[in-house]
Amino acid sequence: MAKVLGRAPLVAVVGATGTGKSELAVNIACKFNGEIINGDAMQLYEGLPVITNKMPEDERGGIPHHLLGCIGLNEETWTVGNFVSNALARINEIRARGRLPILVGGTHYYTQSLLFHDALANKSQDEEPVSYAERPAILEEPTEVLLAKLREVDPVMADRWHPNDRRKIQRSLEIWLQTGRKASDIYEEQRTRREAADHEAQSEDAQDESLLRMRTLILWVGAQSDILSKRLDARVDKMVTQGLLDEVSTLSDFYDNRIAGGESIDTTRGIWVAIGYKEFLDYQAALRKGDTSPTQLNKLLAQAIEKTKAGTRQYAKRQVRWIRIKLNNAIDTAGAKNSFFMLDGSDLPKWEQDVSETGLKLVDSFLKEQTLPDPSSLSPLAAEMLTASKPDTSARSDLWSRKHCEVCHTTSVTESDWTVHVNSKRHKKAMSSHRKRALNGTAQAVVPQKQDGTNEQPKDD
């Protein structure tokens, strides 16, 4: 394992929702005198334990949990910089007590920004968090306004994102507003610095030192996708029996009271996007109206539950995708692959053995700075999943290539995405139909453009 001597250890537990991350973190904390730091954006909010999937108090083993339920429902989800500064402060406090900090959570861009030196997480530990009220007003404008402003100040990033990707457009503009620097320049500096580390570092230790904030063991609790999907569906059913509908009603009352008081609420961010709230709004409205038949109410309830299940499954897939692409590539670049392990929790009856016992052994060896096993040797699933599914292009400006297909009305922002599109059945079918219409004189052929802007004649399928 690449060692970073002279720095205190951190254990990070990552993984998709429903895999048992919190349980493993508690087990580690109980055995190794640890305290837990929440890294889940929704669990920052006070109350609502069912919607936010907080671990019940009686299952926490008396272990202190930090950054859990620490902000009000009326507050915005923390920015990355805000989370990093608060988490680093808690890590120092935990270490000052002679205990082991354990990070656990599913908001993986929080996790990744904390684990690695990142120019975009520009708030230092000593800075005061910036409240949402202090954010520039332009960030609340419509997406097309944000894109126009971003194109003015950082045209490279404006071309990088899909014109409908509000969150990424907003983030790039926010970076410029907060730092006075273009996000594209910062990404380029990161790329250059990492390439320099690859060429100049003479050992894994030097690479690790240049990118990781601290000596870290990362445990990924995973499961086979089909098994996890069934598990998540069952968990949603359990959430309903545990009081999910009461929490939806509580949130709705909170919303109504604020609106009645003349306040405005943006339901596209913060606690309002938590899976399990918005999916029940139609049912909640019908219930409050009071004149909906029981049959229709049951139908709306069933639809809401199914929407919640689908949303949860999709969220889990996005979490796994983030780990396999972004986190995996970052760990690889840092020369820290030998401290990144996947624990296969697919078999629930064997979860204690496959996940907990294996994880505890790894933590013990890590804290003693002993040689760790080959991560791919733990299970067939680990061998498969610990290989990045594809390169992370988000910070590689040399791989950005924005193209628009006039036939399918689709925009691609990387060369690989464009290649997938033009080779897709949908595109080929659309091109074939378009050529037939053109030959029949019912439409004028639209000629796709190459990356350099020149025309490219369509080829026969």
Q: Tell whether 297 is covered by a domain.
A: yes
Same domain, 248 and 307: yes
Strands 100-104, 410-414: pairing is unpaired
pTM (whole model) above 0.85: no
Range of the domain at 139: 131-195
Q: Which amino acid is at 93?
A: E
What pLDDT, on the 0 to 100 scale, is given for residue 377?
93
Q: Tell whether 95 is covered by a domain.
A: no
Q: Beta-carbon neighbour count of residue 114 at 10 Å?
A: 26
What pLDDT, on the 0 to 100 scale, is given for residue 105?
83
Q: Tell whether 206 is covered by a domain.
A: no
Percent of the chain scoring above 70 in pLDDT: 80
Contact 354, 343 (CB under 8 A): yes
Rounded to 10 degrees, what is the CA torsion of 416, 419, 423, 429? Answer: 110
Residue 173's alpha-carbon distances to 181, 216, 273, 394, in angstroms, are 10, 32, 22, 15
Tokens of 133: 């009220």
User: pLDDT tens digits, residue range 379-425?
Assistant: 999 998 987 655 555 555 555 566 778 888 777 666 667 777 888 88
Q: Tell whether 190 is covered by a domain.
A: yes
Residue 326: strand, helix, or coil: helix
Tally the domains of the chain. Answer: 3
Helix segments in 201-243, DSSP class H: 204-211, 225-241
As a whole number of angstroms, the distance between CA 249 and CA 252 comes to: 5
Half-sphere exposure of 123 (CA within 13 A, CB side): 23
In the structure, how many helices (H) and strands (E) does the chain have? 18, 8
Same domain, 191 and 251: no
User: pLDDT tens digits, residue range 293-350?
Assistant: 999 999 999 999 999 999 999 999 989 988 998 888 888 888 888 999 999 999 999 9
Among 311, 330, 355, the domain boundary falls at 311
Q: DSSP per residue over 261-279, as a string?
A: TT----TTSGGGG-TTTGG
User: pLDDT tens digits, residue range 129-162?
Assistant: 333 334 566 787 888 999 999 999 999 888 888 8
Q: Tell whether 424 is covered by a domain.
A: yes
Chain centroid, CA 82 distance in Å: 16
Q: Tell whether 292 is covered by a domain.
A: yes
Rounded to 10 degrees, what is the CA torsion of 231, 237, 241, 243? Answer: 90
Q: Spell out a b/e string for 258-273, using b for 16 or more CB atoms within 10 Å of the CB, else e.
A: eeeeeeeeeeeebbee
Beta strands in 315-385 (DSSP E): 340-344
Continuous segment of H or E residues that includes residue 220: strand 215-222
Would you say residue 89 has pLDDT above 80?
yes
Q: Residue 162 sits in a domain of what CATH number?
A: 1.10.20.140
User: pLDDT tens digits, residue range 276-285?
Assistant: 999 999 999 8
Q: Tell whether 275 is covered by a domain.
A: yes
Q: Tell whether 405 is covered by a domain.
A: yes
